[in-house]
Structure 1
Amino acid sequence: MSIQMRAARKLRVHWPISAETFNRAAAGDLGALSGDQGVASLLQAVEQFQDLGDFGNYKHVFESTVGFEGFTCAQGATPTLGKVGERTISPTFVFTTYFDAQLSDDAVEGFMDQLAEIHPWELPVIELTGPVTIAAHRRAGELEGEAA
């Protein structure tokens, strides 16, 4: 077995979901996510960008969690959820994927712009890291480009 290292950047998007979707997903019903219109639009947008989640023979690889976001809207905000001056807690789907650190800035800006445009929040939470190292184990005899 050998270890192959590569430089990548991480993209993480926090996406609001309904309480029903949250409860179903937390109980292990992953079909709840594909049935949620917002999450479905996120996953559909991500699939358009072949560079996101590319691990050789595995495409569109992502990690996800469900949790909560908390915030208080200040004066001047036009919230999708909650009211100005009140603390709001929102059930949230957190989507994380990786892409090659050498991907052009134009390509990165293209998918960041599209995600921001379809995101339901006035101020979307979209995180983008600098280069990180991803290590993949390879078994003897595996072809280049295959994930273990």
Structure 2
Amino acid sequence: MKIEMKSVRKLRVHWPIAPESFARLAKGDVEAFEDEAGIVALLQALSESPDLGDFGNYRHVFESGLGFEGFTCTEGANPTLGQVGQRTISPTLVFTTYFDAALDDAAVERSLQHVVEIHPWEVPVIELTGPISVSSTALPAVLESEAAS
């Protein structure tokens, strides 16, 4: 099998979700993606950006995982969840997608700005990596041998 690699940057967003949505997703209920308003907004942002999640014949590619965010708000914070001085634990969807590493900085900034605008947190946790390599295609050996003929 021939594997081609593509240079990309990884975008990971930590998104708070309702405990009910967390429980449904943990049980494998994918319809919870359509019932949680925040997830719907995040997936809409992905589908509106042709640069995010582009894997050739596959578009809007993402991965997600469930977890928890923990934080303590300090004076001056305006929390969506929790109170100043109190430890808060939030059920979280960890959303990961990719974009071409050659994408210009202005396009990257637009995508990040859109995510910040729709994110419910005052200070969202958004991770952006430098270039990494991911597989972009895999051709069975049979196809390779036919192409060589």
Question: Does TM-score exceed 0.5, indicating one fold?
Answer: yes
- Normalised by the shorter chain, which TM-score bucket? over 0.9
2:83 counterpart residue number: 83
Tell me the alpha carbon deviations over residues 86-136 of structure 1, each in whole angstroms, 9 at most, x when there is no partner. Answer: 000000011101111000111100010000001000001111000001124
1:126 counterpart residue number: 126
- d(CA) in 2 for partners of 1:66 and 1:138? 32
Identity among equivalent positions (%) equals: 61
Within 5 Å, give how 1:1-148 maps onto structure 2: 1-136=1-136, 137-140=138-141, 141=143
Gaps of 5+ in 1: 143-148
Q: Which has the larger radius of gyration?
A: 2
- d(CA) in 1 for partners of 2:34 and 2:92? 14
- d(CA) in 1 for partners of 2:33 and 2:87? 26
Tell me the alpha carbon deviations over residues 33-52 of structure 1, each in whole angstroms, 9 at most, x when there is no partner. Answer: 21100110110011111111
Q: Higher helix share goes to which structure?
A: 2
SS of the residue aligned with 2:34? helix
- Give me the TM-score of the superposition, normalised by structure 1: 0.92
- d(CA) in 2 for partners of 1:24 and 1:97? 22
- d(CA) in 1 for partners of 2:132 and 2:99? 10
Gaps of 5+ in 2: 145-149
- d(CA) in 2 for partners of 1:139 and 1:5? 15
The number of equivalent residue pairs is 142
- d(CA) in 1 for partners of 2:37 and 2:114? 16
- d(CA) in 2 for partners of 1:115 and 1:34? 18
- d(CA) in 2 for partners of 1:124 and 1:22? 19
- Give me the TM-score of the superposition, normalised by structure 2: 0.92
SS of the residue aligned with 1:121? coil
SS of the residue aligned with 1:111? helix
